[in-house]
Structure 1
């Protein structure tokens, strides 16, 4: 009887040690990711806000807004007016 209890206790101790290691690894990963995220937020907030420019060409007036998204340019048309002569 005591042998079975000792085996179970040993098994539970090993399981707890494994879970503790796993929790420490995940805590370290979470800490690194949190630091990366904070650095990204800090860099993003220190950048200048997007600039707007007006383009007038051949009777068309457009207001463009360019954003950099995943190192590619994403262009969104905010207002377009066509003037026919």
Structure 2
């Protein structure tokens, strides 16, 4: 967001959103993002290296999934039914 500094009636500085410049800056930001996304995947070696690094950092660990459905409580009161956790 781009703001312009102006003074109000009492002489205090006030920030006002400049909609035109903000819109132009957002469009330029999107153009840069799109150009980077296209550039990053153009080189095959760079793509392979980035995919490998991503998978090593983020896809190497899988969180555990606990399911207690296999547990049987011998001697538990049959009137009580446990809910799934």
- Report the TM-score range of the alignment, normalised by the length of the smaller protein: 0.3 to 0.5
Question: How high is the TM-score relative to the length of structure 2?
Answer: 0.35
As a proportion of its length, which structure holds more strand? Answer: 1
